[in-house]
Structure 1
């Protein structure tokens, strides 16, 4: 149904404009008639635009759409009928303009009703896919189909007539008839086939009790007071303003490249190609990325691409820029429409869609008009740089202005709508493309301190952990000593699974990583986080870094995947201090053999395995030296104990009497140089 409606819109635009031009003589008159009809289609937004959304929210949407389609059927059909009466060309053009104005006025009420009704017909999880289909149909396939139908009509009718055509058989008039009956078809489909469009009875009663003025005021107040909607409107308006400047300057820009009309059409074709790519492929590329973030980033992409156009010195660069402009605009439009449909309450959805749909038209008109007027100011100058002749003109300056304004609008919208505060944007994008979007850390308020001891086998972690715990307890502090795996009942059972030396029971490397993550999730939720909330000092024997070193480097699993898994399990919790006791594998394994008769499964691994583990720990420490204290484990025990105590005291001095909120802030992406930043999602506490 929406495809038929879109087809009718584009065919009607072409048909009415061509029909008007065909009724007068002379190139100037034809051009004026053609352009006037297109301009008139945009004017009703100034007249009825502010209240169109109120109609969509106040009255039954299904019958609003049916009545509007029937009115458009009558108005479109009246244009060729009036031409058949023998009226002069001037009168026919005048009526075509009046009918076009009325058609667009009716359309302004139809669009918000349609947009507000769609989310009620489709499950929320499928709303984006439905919007993809609608937008590709509207802005990709349908314009081309409408042009092809017009061309086919022209050739077919002329072939049948064998030469000159009678007035009633002109292709433009036939196209108007096709468009008129497409409106009748959609009215019939909505009347008898899509009864679910009507809004709820409760909504109707609530709307009927309010005046239209109050509804109008409340709609605008909702937009102004809702960060999501405000950011969407700001971003969409900024993107369309930039697009309008591109449209208004396109003809002159093509000339500045030393090209003619062919280049002008190529640039516009490239924009439509990019639009289709953005709408069709965007969701597949970003996958599970937050649509709020995607919206702002898409606007920035489109606006930055306008800057590419401004600096283009060759047609190929300009075409690439135009494709990117269209891609960004397509993704932004899809994300924006999906967010509006899925997150705006039904009772105000019509008014919000009306503001967006009508506001974009007005912004587009103003941008095109102003840029067209200003484009000739200052003329053009040629700069000789090397052997390149670069044109510096008002056209390029306007494109620069449009790009900069669009980037500002995109960043502003992003700031108002961002639902993952503190998570690095580019890292989140890269992670989403790979199917692992970053997550904000779980917020909680802590007055405690989280210290972790890491290192290879036989490094002396248990000795140093016990010494630190005894010292802190002697100061009267609440100290929680824990370990991974095995700090809880669940952890003990997992520990027996991962460290048992029975070969038949040994888990595979990926299963082992999952078991450690399961232990860590339970450990953090039941031991570490509650202790930090009450202000205790938590000292843990191993944490996330052990998984990165043992399962990542040791088992040669993808380290970024292990990091993402562990970070998801911990909710992004990161220790304040990691004490890394570095020891040569030969030395450490010798200590293990000397103190016990047997070894667990990890201790029994090859020397090469333990070498990989050691260097992985060192790489992790090198990536974040402020958080790590790296000590030579071969030095005397007392010396190591003193060094650990001094560093911990630095934290405790700042900790005294201070409440440290652990906000849902960004993930730490500084794990090791060769790792992907996208997956390393461990939260970093504020520096003390």
Structure 2
């Protein structure tokens, strides 16, 4: 029987035993469920209120774009606020703003205000996330718990909350048919508005819990930051301690910090390559599935495979991280994901593609979790909000651009039908794009690891309660 102190479940229980973290985890569940519920409900409401078939068809993609756009525009601002002001106050205000905007969408009932309101809701979300991520390490007893805390957060955000948000949307919008409510009493628009109101109430619940039960979110480390070889490493902390640098100064300090900190620079370079490769896969996934002659069902199976692999990577990375340093795990994960795309590009059969895609998903999950853990446990508090915001915005910018460009690259290759070992497949532009994405990820993974392996790194002592690096780990 595994030692509960070293098993994944045992470490998760230790983290959940911390009352401040447990409450923040619950708040994350409320807000993430509201995010997914509002996305589905607002897209459905836009489709119902559209005055034309074109507007109805574009409803979901337009709401999704309105969700993503604030991340491209305002993520650095969220990081600046998280490093400069009281994080607890920022989170409460953001939750209240999100709740008020959703209620205004219900009251106004305008097709165009749905998109404008969605944009503003996500702008508030961009202010909320960096504050939550930057405050998280201060709720833990030691940096070693950061990995388990991040795992629990991702499971809640992309697992439990998805099921809760999707389940609530299905129950509410299907209540008319299930309960036999006449359309003249409560039609589809009315039921969808109820779903939006429920999402607003979840945000209000989050604001109440943060305001009344989570004073720890306002805490900041009190000790001074130790000296580094490069003065750029402490630029952000020194200016913050000096009493309030302006936004331009903080942005300049952030750039100097990244240039002078190989650990963070390598992390961002590595994730940039990984996001670019991942965006290329997403942008070509549907066309690639059709090239396997499996129809839309093949597309669904490939998506399930990559998400299944993602879960395996998120859960399994802990065992690997106990034997190797986080820097090495991060580099191995990105290089392995790139190499895993090579068989995807050459695969002639759906079953083989599903296995290869699951492997890529597992490596991506390992890389994302390890990168988030490094930021939380190795970047000092005064700079953590900005680095987290940059990390999140880079995901959206690089992956979004890659998703947009990949389909254009696919059109440059003329499709051909090939029969190999009695198996017929279509060779089109998706395969060279996927192959190129894999090579890019592998090369960038090597570059990132070389950057992160240099001796000049962010000292773990810079974080509150940081322990010395585990001597049993392979450097």
Alignment TM class, shorter chain as reference: 0.7 to 0.9
Q: Which moved more, 1:350-359 or 1:385-394?
A: 385-394
Provide the C-alpha distance between the structure 1 equivalents of 2:452 and 2:315, rounded to a whole number of angstroms: 23
Moved more, 96-105 or 43-52: 43-52
Per the alignment, residue 237 of structure 1 pairs with 272
| Residue number in structure 2 paired with 1:288 | 323
Q: Distance in 2 between matches of 1:64 and 1:397?
A: 45
Match of 2:148 in 1: 129
SS of 1:378 mapped into structure 2: coil
- Correspondence list, 1:134-149, <5 A: 134-149=153-168
Rate the CA distance shift 1:379–1:19 in 2: closer, same or farther, 3 A: farther
How does 1:615-634 map onto structure 2 within 5 Å?
none
Q: Does 1:395 align with 2:430?
A: yes
Q: Aligned equivalents of 1:299 and 1:201: distance in 2?
A: 32
Relative contact order, CA 8 A, sep 6+: which one is greater? 2
Query: Equivalent residue for 1:188?
Result: 208
Aligned length: 419
User: 1:182-222: per-residue Cα shift (whole Å, max 9, x none)?
Assistant: 11111111111111111438679627431111011101221
Residue deviations 1:133-166, cap 9 Å, x none?
0011112232233222221222334322435362
Question: Distance between the aligned counterparts of 1:25 and 1:247, measured in 2?
Answer: 31
Counterpart position of 1:32 = 58
Match of 1:622 in 2: none
Residues 254-403 of structure 1 correspond to what in structure 2 (within 5 A)? 254-403=289-438
* 1:350–1:420 distance in 2 versus 1, CA, 3 Å: closer
Distance 2:321 2:245 in 1: 42
Query: In the aligned structure 1, how far is the partner of 2:93 from the partner of 2:41?
Result: 23
Corresponding residue number in structure 1 for 2:220? 200
1:308 CA drift (Å)? 2.4
Larger strand share, 1 or 2: 1
Please name the residue that 2:43 is paired with: 17
- 1:284 deviates by 3.0
Give the conservation status (yes or no) of the 8 Å contact 1:293–1:419: no
Instruction: Give the alignment partner of residue 411 of structure 1, picking from 446, 461, 465.
Output: 446
Q: Give the whole-Å Cα distance in 2 for the aligned partners of 1:261 and 1:318.
A: 15
Give the conservation status (yes or no) of the 8 Å contact 1:235–1:299. Answer: yes
Aligned-residue offset at 1:269: 1.6
Unmatched runs of 5 consecutive residues or more in structure 2 = 1-26, 223-236, 457-470
Specify the alignment match of 1:120 in structure 2. Answer: 138
Aligned alpha-carbon RMSD (Å): 2.4
CA positional deviation for 1:342: 0.4
Give yes or no for contact 1:383–1:392 (8 Å, CA) kept in 2: yes
Match of 1:582 in 2: none
Q: TM-score, normalised by structure 1?
A: 0.58
Give the corresponding residue for 1:98.
116
Change over 3 Å in CA distance of 1:27–1:266 after alignment to 2: farther
Matching residue of 1:517: none
Q: 1:252 aligns with which of 287, 292, 295?
A: 287
- For residue 231 of structure 2, what is the aligned residue in structure 1? none
Which structure shows the higher helix fraction?
2
Specify every segment of 5 or more residues in structure 1 that has no aligned partner in the other structure, as ranges.
84-91, 422-435, 441-688
Mapped partners of 1:177, 1:274: distance in 2: 35
Aligned to 1:467: none
**2: distance between equivalents of 1:253 and 1:215?**
44
Provide, for residues 89-133 of structure 1, a one-character-per-residue CA deviation record: whole Å limited to 9, x for no partner.
Answer: xxx221010011111111111111111000111122211111110
Could you tell me how far apart the structure 1 residues matched to 2:189 and 2:178 are? 12
